[in-house]
Amino acid sequence: MRITKEKPVELLSKYGLYFVLLLLIVVSAILSPLFFSYSNIANLLTYNSFTGLLSLGMTFVILTGGIDLSVGSMVGFSSILYATMLHGAIFTFMPDNIFIYTGSPQLTPLFPQGINIVVVFLICSVFGFISGSISYKFRIHSFIVTLCFMIFIRGLAVSYTHGQPLFGMPEYINFIAYGTFLSIPMPAIIWLTASVFSIFLLRYTRFGRGIYAVGGDEEAARLSGIKSAIYRIMPFIFSAFFASLVGIMMSGRMACGDPKIAQGWELDAIAAVVIGGTSLFGGRGTIGGTVVGVLIIGLIINIMNLLEIDAYPQQMVKGVIIIAALALHNLLSGRRYS
Amino acid sequence: MNKGVPLLEAKGIVKQYPGVLALDKVDFDVFSGEVHCLAGENGAGKSTLIEIIGGSYKKDEGTIRINGTEVEFASPKEAQESGIAVLHQELPVLPYLSVAENIFLARQPRNKAGFVNYSEMYRQARKWLDIIQADINPRSLLGSLPMSKQQLVSIAKALSLDAKIIIFDEPSAVLTSVELKRLFEIIGSVKKEGKGIVYISHRLEEIFEIGDRVTVLRNGRLVGTRPIEEINRDTLIKMLVGREISEEVPTERKEIEDKAVLAVKGLCRKGIFEDISFTVNRGEILGVYGLVGAGRTEVIRVIVGADPLDEGEIYIENRRVRIKSPKDAIKYGICLAPEDRKQHGLILGKSVQENIVLPSLHRFKRSLFLDYGRMRSYTRKFVSSLRIVTPTLSQKVRFLSGGNQQKVVLAKWLGMEMKVFIFDEPTRGIDIGAKEEIRSLIRKLAEEGRAIIVISSEIPEIMSLSNRIVIMHNGRITGCLLREEATKEKLIAYSMGANHI
| pLDDT band, very low/low/confident/very high, at A200 (cuts 50, 70, 90) | very high
Q: Is the pLDDT of residue A300 over 70?
A: yes
- Asked if A65 has any chain B CB less than 8 Å from its own CB, the reply is no
Which of A209, A231, A337 should we substitute to test contact with B (largest number of B Cβ atoms within 10 Å)? A209
Q: What average pLDDT is seen over chain A?
A: 86
Question: Would you state the pLDDT for residue A337?
Answer: 35
Which of A10, A206, A222 should we substitute to test contact with B (largest number of B Cβ atoms within 10 Å)? A206
Q: Is the pLDDT of residue B228 over 60?
A: yes
Question: Would you state the pLDDT for residue B245?
Answer: 39
AA identity, residue B487: T
Q: Is the pLDDT of residue B135 over 60?
A: yes
With CA atoms as reference, the chain B residue closest to A63 would be: B96
Q: Contacts of residue A210 in chain B, CB cutoff 8 Å?
A: 106
Q: Is the pLDDT of residue A235 over 90?
A: yes
User: Residues A58, A68: contact at Cβ < 8 Å?
Assistant: yes
Which of the two residues, B496 and A290, has the higher pLDDT score? A290
Q: Summarize the confidence of residues B117-126 as an average pLDDT.
A: 93
Topology of domain B1-83+163-242 in CATH is Rossmann fold (3.40.50)
Q: Summarize the confidence of residues B155-174 as an average pLDDT.
A: 84
Flag if B105 and A226 touch (Cβ within 8 Å).
yes
- Asked if A336 has any chain B CB less than 8 Å from its own CB, the reply is yes
Chain centroid, CA A269 distance in Å: 5
Q: Contacts of residue A338 in chain B, CB cutoff 8 Å?
A: none
Of B77, B114, B143, the CB nearest to A225: B77
User: How far apart are the two ends of chain A, measured CA to CA in Å?
Assistant: 15
User: Residues B461, B425: contact at Cβ < 8 Å?
Assistant: no
Residue B260's SS3 state is strand
Chain centroid, CA B201 distance in Å: 12
| Helix or strand run (H / E) with residue B64 | strand B61-66
Q: What is the CA radius of gyration of chain A?
A: 21
Q: Is the pLDDT of residue B235 over 80?
A: yes
DSSP labels, B360-419? GGGGGEETTEE-HHHHHHHHHHHHHHTT---S-TTSBGGGS-HHHHHHHHHHHHHTTT-S
Distances (CA, A) of B354 to B351, B394, B400, B418: 5, 8, 14, 19
Question: Would you state the pLDDT for residue A9?
Answer: 59
Flag if A225 and B106 touch (Cβ within 8 Å).
yes
Flag if A220 and B94 touch (Cβ within 8 Å).
yes
User: Residues B284, B451: contact at Cβ < 8 Å?
Assistant: yes
| Helix or strand run (H / E) with residue B285 | strand B285-290
Question: Would you state the pLDDT for residue A312?
Answer: 87
Gap from B174 CA to chain A (nearest CA, Å) = 18
Q: Is the pLDDT of residue B464 over 90?
A: no
Question: Would you state the pLDDT for residue A192?
Answer: 94
Question: Would you state the pLDDT for residue B433?
Answer: 66
pLDDT tens digit string along B70-104? 888 888 888 888 889 888 766 678 888 999 999 99
For chain B, percent of residues with pLDDT exceeding 70: 93
Of B96, B135, B137, the CB nearest to A284: B96
Q: Is the pLDDT of residue A48 over 90?
A: yes
DSSP labels, B327-340? HHHHHTTEEEE-SS
Of A205, A213, A223, the CB nearest to B97: A213
| pLDDT band, very low/low/confident/very high, at A147 (cuts 50, 70, 90) | very high
AA identity, residue B446: A
Q: Contacts of residue B147 in chain A, CB cutoff 8 Å?
A: none
Q: At what angle do helices A206-216 and A186-204 cross, to 10 degrees?
A: 80
Flag if B108 and A209 touch (Cβ within 8 Å).
yes
User: In this predicted structure, which of A89-103, B151-165, B251-265 has the lowest mean pLDDT?
Assistant: A89-103
Same fold, B1-83+163-242 and B260-495: yes
Q: Is the pLDDT of residue A238 over 90?
A: yes
The sign one gets for the Cα dihedral B438, B443, B449, B455 is: positive
Q: What are phi and psi of B448, to 5 degrees?
A: -75, 5
Q: Is the pLDDT of residue A251 over 70?
A: yes
Question: Would you state the pLDDT for residue A56?
Answer: 97
Pairing type for strands B369-370 and B365-366 reads antiparallel
With CA atoms as reference, the chain B residue closest to A284 would be: B96
CB pairs under 8 A between A and B: 66
Query: Which residues does residue B335 pair with via DSSP β-bridges, in sequence order?
Result: B421
Q: Is the pLDDT of residue B3 over 70?
A: no
**H-helix segments, B211-342:** 233-241, 296-303, 326-331
Of B311, B343, B337, B306, give the one whose Cα is nearest residue B420: B337
Q: Contacts of residue B115 in chain A, CB cutoff 8 Å?
A: 204-205
Residue A163's SS3 state is coil
Max avg pLDDT among A205-219, A231-245, B39-53: A231-245
Gap from A275 CA to chain B (nearest CA, Å) = 18
Flag if B137 and A2 touch (Cβ within 8 Å).
yes
Q: Is the pLDDT of residue B417 over 90?
A: no
Residue B99's SS3 state is helix
Of B92, B106, B137, the CB nearest to A217: B92
The CATH class given to the A43-326 domain equals mainly alpha
Of A204, A225, A226, the CB nearest to B116: A204
Q: Is the pLDDT of residue A328 over 90?
A: no
Q: Is the pLDDT of residue B500 over 60?
A: no
User: In this predicted structure, which of A57-71, A295-309, B237-251, B383-397 has the lowest mean pLDDT?
Assistant: B237-251
pLDDT tens digit string along B12-63? 999 887 767 888 889 999 999 999 999 887 667 888 898 889 888 888 889 9
Q: What average pLDDT is seen over chain B?
A: 85
With CA atoms as reference, the chain A residue closest to B144 would be: A337
Q: Is the pLDDT of residue B202 over 80?
A: no
Q: Contacts of residue A216 in chain B, CB cutoff 8 Å?
A: 94-97
List residues in chain B touching A: CB distance below 8 A: 76-77, 80, 92-97, 101, 105-108, 110, 114-116, 135-137, 143-144
Question: Would you state the pLDDT for residue A273?
Answer: 93
CA A95 to CA A89: how far, in whole Å?
A: 10
| Helix or strand run (H / E) with residue B280 | strand B273-281
Which of B78, B88, B91, B105 should we substitute to test contact with A (largest number of A Cβ atoms within 10 Å)? B105
Which of B97, B122, B140 should we substitute to test contact with A (largest number of A Cβ atoms within 10 Å)? B97
Q: Summarize the confidence of residues A24-48 as an average pLDDT.
A: 89
Flag if A212 and B97 touch (Cβ within 8 Å).
yes
CA A6 to CA A15: how far, in whole Å?
A: 12
CA A82 to CA A85: how far, in whole Å?
A: 5
| pLDDT band, very low/low/confident/very high, at B249 (cuts 50, 70, 90) | very low
Supply the CATH classification number for the domain B260-495: 3.40.50.300
User: In this predicted structure, which of A5-14, A160-169, B145-154 has the lowest mean pLDDT?
Assistant: A5-14
Q: Which of residues 73-132 of A touch B (CB under 8 A)?
A: none
| pLDDT band, very low/low/confident/very high, at A1 (cuts 50, 70, 90) | very low
Flag if B137 and A1 touch (Cβ within 8 Å).
yes
AA identity, residue A236: F
